[in-house]
Structure 1
Amino acid sequence: HASDLDKINGGIIVKTVDQGTPFVTLDGAERIHQSEDLMICDYQNPLCIAGVLGGLNSGVNETTKSIFLESAYFDPVSIRKTAKRHGLNTDASFRFERGIDPEITTYALKLAANLITEIAGGTVEGELHEIIQDLPEKSKFMLHYDLINNTVGQEISKEVISMILNGLEIDIISSTEEAMLVEIPLYRVDVTRPADVIEEILRVYGYNNIATSEILQSNVPEFTPFDDHRVAEKISNQLVGLGFNEIMNNSITTPQHEGISQSIKSIEGVNIINPLGKELSQMRTSLLPGVLEVIAFNLNRQSKLLKLFELGKIYRHDKNNGVQKGFGEEKHIALALTGPIYEEHWDTNHPPQTFFYFKGILEAILPHSSGQLWEESQSKKDIFSDGLQYTLAGKELLNFGYVKREILSQFEVNQEVLYAEFNFNEMAHAIRNNNIKFTEIPKFPGVRRDFALLLNSDVSFDSLKSLALSTEKKILKKVALFDVYEGDKLPEGKKSYGVSFYFQDHKKTLTDQYVDKVMGKLQKQFEKEFGAKLR
């Protein structure tokens, strides 16, 4: 690096500066330094960011008469961190980040001085000053001939191997019939292990000189039908068959996405130590922001109907009683639906509700068996304005519903979005334990009876259904809601439910008297528990 000698006060010191120190670089930008940034300084001021970019106040210009030349080797990790912190990508940082030859500094300095002398007519004044720390030791390890031949797939003579290594300036310290001790030059920062040396040998020897084996070998992996990747593939194929498109988002995102909801903000994210920028500095804690960004991108290009899904991981800090234990990750499945799912048609004045269409899709991919029944409840996730939660054996399986408008507005999405997020691990566990049982088709007919019930507005259908099924476990097979009415014809705080009850006995034909008796029992339970009245 060249500096204007007349602008240097005293001498040169390589050090870190205080946190928050301002510094103007050659591009005219003022940068605030961190305490970890290594700087080249004089006795009063910093002169340049070591290994990255020079300073404006010490730079060479048309009035410069004397030049100070500095040639150095810096730690690649330190230079990369500094460059990324300041968003810089210079020729210097590009080379230092990848590692250079630490023994070339004196040669490079003399070469630069000779070029200035020959081309610009300058003269060398003063002596060369060298400040050197202990250089890293050259890497040494044993390289076995059998390992080379087994890796390459055929035998290469020891003489050829020795010739290639000598040409690569890799020293052979000693050798035996089985192996040799090799020493790697410091400038070969990419060669650190036997596999790297074998790759260099093969590169020079020539891949075209490796004969094709006449023996075909293959390994048949153990087949497990419910491995995670097979479950994921099955779900993906099912969703594609239902008209969904798969999306793939970056797992690294911006910390600003934490603020879209309290539930997402409550998850402590995993920050990247060496981020490419602030917008890519944290591992995602939810799939929702990425999905909404994809929706916004497509809506801006006039794609109004979107059916999307993503299989991806979310990341967090694991804690126990407030003490960090490490990092955790969970695989999730996200589904999103927005736009008109039914085309406009003269015969379709009132298309089906999108919410229940979406609910049907979710239930289509859930595992079904007689031994596993999920439970529905109101979702407590604050990303939804209205939503449901499904649990299986007490564990959360999925949450879905309408995304709140204030969240949509942050992503400039101006139409309703239905969103669902599955816990993939629980989903895969349920599929593995999905033992389907078959029973004979009943020979005896079923019976349907209806109730029109007047209830308090806070009574949910789910509570009615649960009470009915627990009251009559023998012949009641299904409870369905076919009508809901709330209006001025009912007392304040009341609503009307039209509920259907389906009865069937596998051993005999049900009589009206028996069914009436069961209906009477159900009516008494509804009156007792919910204060219901028949309309």
Structure 2
Amino acid sequence: MLISFDWLKQLIDINKPTEEVGALLTGAGLEVEGIHTFDVVQGGLEGIVIGEVLTCERHPDADRLNITTVDIGNGTPSQIVCGAPNVAAGQKVVVATVNSTLYPTGGEAFKIKKSKIRGAVSEGMICAEDEIGIGISHAGIMVLDTDLANGTPAAEFFGMSSDKVFEIGLTPNRADAASHYGVARDLQALLNAKVVLPSVETFKIENTSKPVSVEVENTEACPRYAGITVSGVKVGPSPEWMQKRLRAIGLSPINNIVDVTNFVLHELGQPLHAFDADKITGGKIVVKTAAEGTTFVTLDGVERKLKATDLVICNAEEPMALAGVFGGKTSGVTDETTTVFIESAYFSPDYVRRTGMVHGLKTDASFRFERGTDPNIVIYALKRAALLMQEVAGGEIASEIVDAYPEPIQNFELELSIDRAQRLIGKEIGAERIKNILTDLGIEITAVTDISLSLSVPPFKVDVKREADVVEEILRIYGFNNIEMNENLATTYLAKFPKPDPEHITQTLLDYVSANGFHEIITNSITNSKYYEQAGEAETAGLVHIVNYNSEDLNVLRKSMVFSGLEVLRRNINRRQKDLKLFELGKVYELVEDKYKESTKLSLFMVGNVTAESWKQPSNKVAFHDLAGTVQNVLRKLGADFEVQALEQNNFMGQGVAYIKNGTVIAQVGVLNTAVTRFMEIKEQVWYAELNWDYLLKKYKINLVAEELPKFPEVRRDLSLVLDKNVTFDQVRQVALRTERKLLQDVNVFDVYEGDKIEAGKKAYALSFTLLDKQQTLTDKVIDNTMNRLMQQFEKQLGAFIRK
């Protein structure tokens, strides 16, 4: 929905900038998705002003040129060379100032620059009407008859000022705001201003020579139908001011009669329809549902077969319009029309919605009728349209107002508890503030007590039917951002925030691991002490021995997940299942300073090939990153941040890495020592990972982050670094992230080289850097400066050599 800012200002006094008004509307539930500039002429005459010619002398080196000095209101007269034959001192003229851009009629745009013409300095241009795009004449410069001050924008003189247009994403529950008047009502409450509708006091019935009677057969589908006749009209183009209003909101002017109905629709939210009164056979309007299968040609020339549920507007013989949806081809206004019957009605949303869906018709009128219009504005809209038609097309009111309204639609009555309202809001905003907001929104307060308000809600508030709906109205005007949240986010009006459920988090992450091809195993937490004895004295320390064990092979509680997992690997490998990805979540036990300690670990094992052998691709042996990638993704899903350090070799693990947070190892990934695997009778290389599950569940929860897709493109730049062999990629990454915190989104290594083509003890990293500015498109200058700073820091902090 498009709303003109200038049009709004005709209804309510607004002294705030466009952007601030847009923010207020968005906060009140009318989301402003964009603010556009509407120019009556291209460029909006920006930089073009009214000036006064002070002097005019013939150019010494050109017979057809004059050198003028022109006052353009900036305190210093401008010298302008002009070739127009009618230029003279004392004239008020239109001046394009230096750096303004002209959009001439039928020509290419060009920018005005300070220049020299035949040796004389020229600081602007005195314009003809075709040169600024408002006409076609090029006979000479425009000479104005005006008292406007020098320097006044020309757009103000010509009535062609640019307009700001709000693009509002109207939600279905805000039918009351589907017009400039509806939006102004919200601003009335937001700005503590007063909406003033155009007066219809001058409306009067001049004669009753063209009466039209109305009969409503289906009052359920049409609770109210009103109309009036205007005779002696002359169909033609609308005046410029009306065309400007309609064009600003994306409508194409048609003729003065149709334009008036569209104007009132978007001003008040009340759809109207204009019939050629001479085509109303029998001088009678009948509102009824159609006979099944009736053929009817709509305004677009399509013949349609009507349903028995379609509400139609008929004359004494045949249908003339689909009520609230679309007019008929034969009854509409044409250039020959001299008498118009204006329809203003309230139709049932259900009937209009059904008809629109059946026939695939969506119009500005049906958009409003099917959501619910205001039955109480029907007569005002009728008078407003009649007066506008007289203004733009002439004519006179030639009938009484016909108003078929057998059962007036009543306001909706309800009680509002002040205490409950403030608890739902989450803040005590005071009874007076509540009453002011409701009154400004058009909700009548019929009775007041210390604890409650009796309210009468008008029909145009179609979605306000409960106490909670009223509270929502109050809250959106008061401002959601004005409700402070307390430190603990504890409230009496919201459901309790559930505590992170460890079981749910665990299951979600195990499902992720399983989805990546790992099979879950469940092993005995009682194991053999010999496993730890062969691993060394350090591993036997802290073992929890079982006093009454039944078997020498099951005499201790496991201290590590390693051996129970290796038992499963051995059993499967011995049965020729050599490509394995296994995981287990289980308990481990340890005796620490005479206290028994129980903790939970997540272990992962990989052995053999990552992918099975096939004709499409070769089989690849498991490598470090195959397992580390899964571990890192689990940590990221928990929202864990960490540092990566090389893992010190121990009795179980050979080479690998540890993921550390605040000095605590939260996970480790590496290859198991061959001494351990051989003891377990496994010849293959085994990759192993272990996560400190208790710590992770205590410190983190599943971290779901949603953000808007970037509007601007990412940029990738590659870099090749030669570094000492002991410098890790993580060190490179940390230097990059510290150097560029805003634009750098990702650092990736896509190639590593070690060989005879570079110095011994060195390695080469091929790195990619992803840059993104969420506010604007990155320029080459910004990108180059960023990459230069990164290269400087790599050289300074890591001793890198940049390969160019």
TM-score, normalised to structure 2, is 0.36
Matched, 1:420 2:689: yes
Superposed displacement of residue 388, structure 1: 1.9
Q: Partner residue of 1:491? A: 759
Q: Distance in 1 between matches of 2:778 and 2:531?
A: 59
Deviations 1:4-51 (A, max 9, x none): xxxxxxxxxxxxxxxxxxxxxxxxxxxxxxxxxxxxxxxxxxxxxxxx
User: Is the Cα–Cα contact under 8 Å of residues 610 and 622 in structure 2 kept in the other structure?
Assistant: no
Q: 1:267 to 1:399 in 2, by over 3 A?
A: farther
Q: Partner residue of 2:797? A: 529
The residue matched to 2:545 in structure 1 has which SS?
Answer: coil
Q: 1:410 to 1:476 in 2, by over 3 A?
A: same
Q: Distance in 2 between matches of 1:342 and 1:268?
A: 40
Matched, 1:464 2:738: no
Q: Distance in 1 between matches of 2:765 and 2:619?
A: 21
Q: Partner residue of 1:233? A: 507
Q: Distance in 2 between matches of 1:521 and 1:404?
A: 42
The residue matched to 2:648 in structure 1 has which SS?
Answer: coil
User: Is the Cα–Cα contact under 8 Å of residues 267 and 285 in structure 1 kept in the other structure?
Assistant: no
**Aligned counterpart in structure 1 of residue 555 of structure 2, from 281, 284, 308:** 281
Q: Distance in 2 between matches of 1:260 and 1:377?
A: 28
Q: Partner residue of 1:441? A: 709
User: Is the Cα–Cα contact under 8 Å of residues 607 and 622 in structure 2 kept in the other structure?
Assistant: no
2:643 partner amino acid: E
User: Is the Cα–Cα contact under 8 Å of residues 546 and 556 in structure 2 kept in the other structure?
Assistant: yes
Q: 1:523 to 1:235 in 2, by over 3 A?
A: closer
Q: 1:264 to 1:314 in 2, by over 3 A?
A: farther
Matched, 1:384 2:653: yes
Q: 1:300 to 1:270 in 2, by over 3 A?
A: same
- Give aligned-pair identity as a percent: 34
Q: Partner residue of 1:361? A: 630
Q: Partner residue of 2:600? A: 331
2:627 partner amino acid: F
Q: Distance in 1 between matches of 2:555 and 2:619?
A: 47
Q: Distance in 2 between matches of 1:471 and 1:304?
A: 46
The residue matched to 2:615 in structure 1 has which SS?
Answer: coil
Superposed displacement of residue 350, structure 1: 6.7
The residue matched to 2:609 in structure 1 has which SS?
Answer: coil
Q: Partner residue of 1:345? A: 614
Q: Partner residue of 2:251? A: none
Q: 1:310 to 1:264 in 2, by over 3 A?
A: farther
- Paired residues for 1:187-202 under 5 Å: none
- Paired residues for 1:15-54 under 5 Å: none
Deviations 1:183-214 (A, max 9, x none): xxxxxxxxxxxxxxxxxxxxxxxxxxxxxxxx
Q: Partner residue of 1:108? A: none
Q: Distance in 2 between matches of 1:257 and 1:352?
A: 27
The residue matched to 1:259 in structure 2 has which SS?
Answer: helix
Gaps of at least 5 residues in structure 1 are 1-221
Q: 1:469 to 1:286 in 2, by over 3 A?
A: same
Q: Distance in 2 between matches of 1:450 and 1:246?
A: 40
Q: 1:510 to 1:302 in 2, by over 3 A?
A: same
The residue matched to 1:366 in structure 2 has which SS?
Answer: helix
Matched residue count:
307
Q: Partner residue of 2:591? A: 317
Q: Distance in 1 between matches of 2:534 and 2:670?
A: 16
Q: Distance in 1 between matches of 2:592 and 2:536?
A: 18
User: Is the Cα–Cα contact under 8 Å of residues 653 and 670 in structure 2 kept in the other structure?
Assistant: yes
Q: 1:262 to 1:428 in 2, by over 3 A?
A: farther
Q: Partner residue of 1:503? A: 771
User: Is the Cα–Cα contact under 8 Å of residues 795 and 801 in structure 2 kept in the other structure?
Assistant: yes
User: Is the Cα–Cα contact under 8 Å of residues 520 and 582 in structure 2 kept in the other structure?
Assistant: yes
Superposed displacement of residue 267, structure 1: 4.5
The residue matched to 1:473 in structure 2 has which SS?
Answer: coil
Q: Distance in 2 between matches of 1:351 and 1:303?
A: 16
Superposed displacement of residue 487, structure 1: 0.7
Q: Partner residue of 2:667? A: 398
User: Is the Cα–Cα contact under 8 Å of residues 608 and 621 in structure 2 kept in the other structure?
Assistant: no
Superposed displacement of residue 230, structure 1: 3.0
Superposed displacement of residue 393, structure 1: 4.8
Superposed displacement of residue 223, structure 1: 11
The residue matched to 2:568 in structure 1 has which SS?
Answer: helix
2:657 partner amino acid: L
The residue matched to 2:586 in structure 1 has which SS?
Answer: strand
1:312 partner amino acid: G
Q: Distance in 2 between matches of 1:524 and 1:482?
A: 21
Q: Partner residue of 1:454? A: 722
Q: Distance in 1 between matches of 2:655 and 2:785?
A: 38
Superposed displacement of residue 352, structure 1: 7.6
User: Is the Cα–Cα contact under 8 Å of residues 367 and 431 in structure 1 kept in the other structure?
Assistant: no
Q: Distance in 1 between matches of 2:579 and 2:739?
A: 44
The residue matched to 2:604 in structure 1 has which SS?
Answer: strand
Superposed displacement of residue 513, structure 1: 1.3
The residue matched to 1:449 in structure 2 has which SS?
Answer: strand
Q: Partner residue of 1:31? A: none
Matched, 1:271 2:545: yes
Superposed displacement of residue 229, structure 1: 3.2
Q: 1:232 to 1:531 in 2, by over 3 A?
A: closer
Q: 1:240 to 1:514 in 2, by over 3 A?
A: closer
User: Is the Cα–Cα contact under 8 Å of residues 263 and 381 in structure 1 kept in the other structure?
Assistant: no
Q: Partner residue of 1:48? A: none
Superposed displacement of residue 224, structure 1: 6.2
User: Is the Cα–Cα contact under 8 Å of residues 308 and 337 in structure 1 kept in the other structure?
Assistant: yes
Matched, 1:407 2:681: no
TM-score, normalised to structure 1, is 0.54
Deviations 1:446-494 (A, max 9, x none): 2111211121111111111101110111111111111111111111111
Matched, 1:512 2:756: no
User: Is the Cα–Cα contact under 8 Å of residues 331 and 424 in structure 1 kept in the other structure?
Assistant: yes
Q: 1:504 to 1:232 in 2, by over 3 A?
A: closer
User: Is the Cα–Cα contact under 8 Å of residues 338 and 415 in structure 1 kept in the other structure?
Assistant: yes
Deviations 1:282-303 (A, max 9, x none): 1110010111011111111111
Q: Distance in 2 between matches of 1:314 and 1:349?
A: 39
Q: Which protein has the larger Cα radius of gyration, Structure 1 or Structure 2?
A: 2
User: Is the Cα–Cα contact under 8 Å of residues 609 and 619 in structure 2 kept in the other structure?
Assistant: no
**Aligned counterpart in structure 2 of residue 482 of structure 1, from 744, 750, 757:** 750
Q: Distance in 2 between matches of 1:267 and 1:479?
A: 43
Q: 1:495 to 1:244 in 2, by over 3 A?
A: closer
Superposed displacement of residue 266, structure 1: 6.2
Q: Distance in 2 between matches of 1:341 and 1:275?
A: 40
1:401 partner amino acid: G
User: Is the Cα–Cα contact under 8 Å of residues 337 and 358 in structure 1 kept in the other structure?
Assistant: yes
The residue matched to 2:795 in structure 1 has which SS?
Answer: helix
Matched, 1:291 2:565: yes
- Paired residues for 1:108-119 under 5 Å: none
Q: Distance in 2 between matches of 1:355 and 1:297?
A: 23
Superposed displacement of residue 243, structure 1: 2.7
Superposed displacement of residue 362, structure 1: 2.2
